[in-house]
Structure 1
Amino acid sequence: MNPIWLPASLFGGLFQAWRTALQQRLRAELSVSGAGLVRYLYGLPFAFMFAAIWLTMRGDAVPAFGTAFAGFAIAGAITQMAGTILLIMAFGHRGFVVGTAFSKTEAVQAALVTALFLGERLPLLAWIGIVAGVAGVLVLALAGRGVSGREIWRALGQPAALCGLGAGSMFALAAIAVKLATAELDGVDLIGSALVTLVVVMAIQTGLHILWAALRDRDTLRAVFRTWRNSSQVGLLSALGSACWYIGFAAAPAALVRIVGQVEVVFTLGFAHFYLREPVRWHEIAGLLLVVGGVVMALIATF
């Protein structure tokens, strides 16, 4: 594994937490669809700029796109969008917390899929770290609302939980598809392959989302262009975060990247406590310890 995967995963979590905070503020001006579209539409120019700068610095030409690359890129774009739709469906079932929590099982799902179909083998300690990290996210999301272990198990049959698990599956498949796509590009280094893949995937997502909005939701499309100042900030952070994720996926097993990237919840809670002055609750301490412990175990197993 290339060691760049570790800082890439950490910064991916940071940029994602930051983007989510700005996106929540933007929700006052845009619909759910619009808030999702700005990630692709305004992130694409930044992704293109990152790729162009890197390839120019290295003196590399744009690699040729083969059939396999195109297939994996399309699969990554569609599964990521499908995951987002399933997560929104979970919210529609009045299950914002439950849906989000179960979508975070993507690290475990990615580890299982890559072990079964790609032959990626992780040390036992890494598996323990992955499970601990996911458990920490579940504690953070659910324990503070008086949800017991029995109720969490019972919630697995609820539509919100099923949609959340489905979203996690789609996000896991998207990570794997991106990893496979980057491996299909010749003539560029690891970072170059990740950035070029990001441009292609974001272009596909932008085209599909704009087409849907033009046919079904033109008011949202107009609002997205009207809010370009705030939307461009979300786009920049989205491109930065995705660039980090893609570099991580190209350099290491997807499951490790995702479990380390779950430090996103640490950044999010840190912002809430230090800037919003919200009190610390016991379940947040327990959840954070599990997340951080999971990350540490995964890193020890790796290095």
Structure 2
Amino acid sequence: MELWIGITFASAFLQNLRSTLQKHLKGMMGTTGATFVRFVFGMPFALAYLAFLHFGLGRPLPVPNMSFAVWATVGAMAQIAATFLLVHLFSFRNFAVGTAYSRTEPAQAALFALIFIGESVNGGTLAAIAISVAGVMLISVARTEVTPASFFTSIFSRTAGIGLASGAFFGLSSVAYRSASLALAPSLPAPDAMMQAGFTLVVVIVMQTVSMFLWIVWREREELWRIARVWKPSLAVGFVGATASFGWFTAMTLQQAAVVKALAQVEMLFAFASTVLFFKEKINRLELSGCLLIVVGVLSLLAFG
């Protein structure tokens, strides 16, 4: 098994765990605060990973260039925009439709990679991405009253537009992170995926932390006190989130972003496993069909990717 595959599976599991921990925090603070903790409490761990690679393992630090700076900034801001749009969806009655369209991230990442950096995927990989995306979209609306006909006709609705925009920004951020990380390779004696990923993560998470901190100070200053009161569980979110991000960045340095994000749809399977095993919830036929599509998509991706 190729290294990026194992890293992606581990990152998907950790991301699901981080989301679970974050849900508990949302009862203690607002959505902005719960989003901010993943950055501000993840930053020390990202710095620790980079310090360990450099001082512990003796790996040389890369020298950033203009290409790196541009792509890192684009990725950081695109991810924040995508997250805010996704959160905004929950204010709509039919948010499930928008959420489903936001899951088109892998397909949009493939498109952005072709447009901006000239990376293309073969037909088998593209089909695998489409199958896994269809599975995730099906799961997203499985417990709603949305019919197949109304789902596809809703593509011109405001909710679907916001969902597609969120998926677009997530896809753009993935391609940008890969591009930023790859831009560091020429400054090293030899390509080092872990060091490139670790350095990129630190720069990105610092930008995101500063940006969100300024926003909170300007618009939601009371969130800072709520965050301070629950710093211990927030540390857990930061640790798990930073570890997952380090994995994502490493995997996307080794493999195309669209392929990594398509394989990352296994996170939905982890989520359903925890739902059934720990919360004893039953899944319906549409959810089961969605899970099967994800499995088929992932297996196809491993075969053709």
Q: Please say if residues 94 and 160 of structure 1, whose CA atoms lie closer than 8 Å, have aligned partners that are also in contact.
A: no
- Preserved CA contact (<8 Å) 1:43 1:239: yes
Where 2:141 maps in the other structure, the secondary structure is: helix
Q: Please report the TM-score for the alignment, with normalisation by the length of structure 2.
A: 0.95
Instruction: Tell me what 1:234 maps to.
Output: 237
Report the equivalent of 2:218.
215
Asked if the contact 2:61–2:195 (Cα under 8 Å) also holds between the matched residues in 1, the reply is: no
What TM-score does the superposition give when structure 1 sets the normalisation length?
A: 0.96
Q: How does 1:156-195 map to 2 (within 5 A)?
A: 156-185=155-184, 186-187=187-188, 189-195=192-198
- Aligned match of 1:287: 290
Q: How far, CA to CA, are the matches of 2:194 and 2:74 in structure 1?
A: 20
Shift of 1:284: 1.5
Count residues with an aligned counterpart: 301
CA contact (8 A) 1:107 1:172 kept: yes
Q: CA deviation at 1:93?
A: 2.1
Does 2:69 align with 1:70?
yes
Per the alignment, in what secondary structure is the counterpart of residue 28 of structure 1?
A: coil
| CA drift at 1:118 | 2.4
8 Å contact from structure 1 (residues 137, 287) kept in 2: yes
Q: Which runs of 5+ in 2 are unaligned?
A: none
Larger displacement relative to structure 2 (144-153 or 9-18): 144-153
Alignment partner of 1:138 is 2:141: no
Secondary structure in 1 matching 2:121: coil
Report the secondary structure of 1:144's partner residue: coil
Deviation at 1:285, TM superposition (A): 1.2
- Tell me how large the CA RMSD over aligned residues is: 1.4
1:60, CA displacement in angstroms? Answer: 2.2
CA distance in 2, matches of 1:99, 1:202: 27
Deviates more, 1:275-284 or 1:193-202: 275-284
| Counterpart AA for 1:237 | V
Q: Which sections of structure 1, spanning at least 5 residues, go unmatched?
A: none
- Distance (Å, rounded) in 2 between the aligned partners of 1:115 and 1:215: 38
- Any residues of structure 2 matched to 1:71-90 within 5 Å, and which? 71-90=70-89
Q: Which amino acid aligns with 1:209?
A: M
Aligned to 1:198: 201
| Contact 1:183/1:250, CA 8 A, preserved across alignment | yes
How do 1:39-78 and structure 2 match up within 5 A?
A: 39-78=38-77
Counterpart of 2:228 in structure 1 is 225
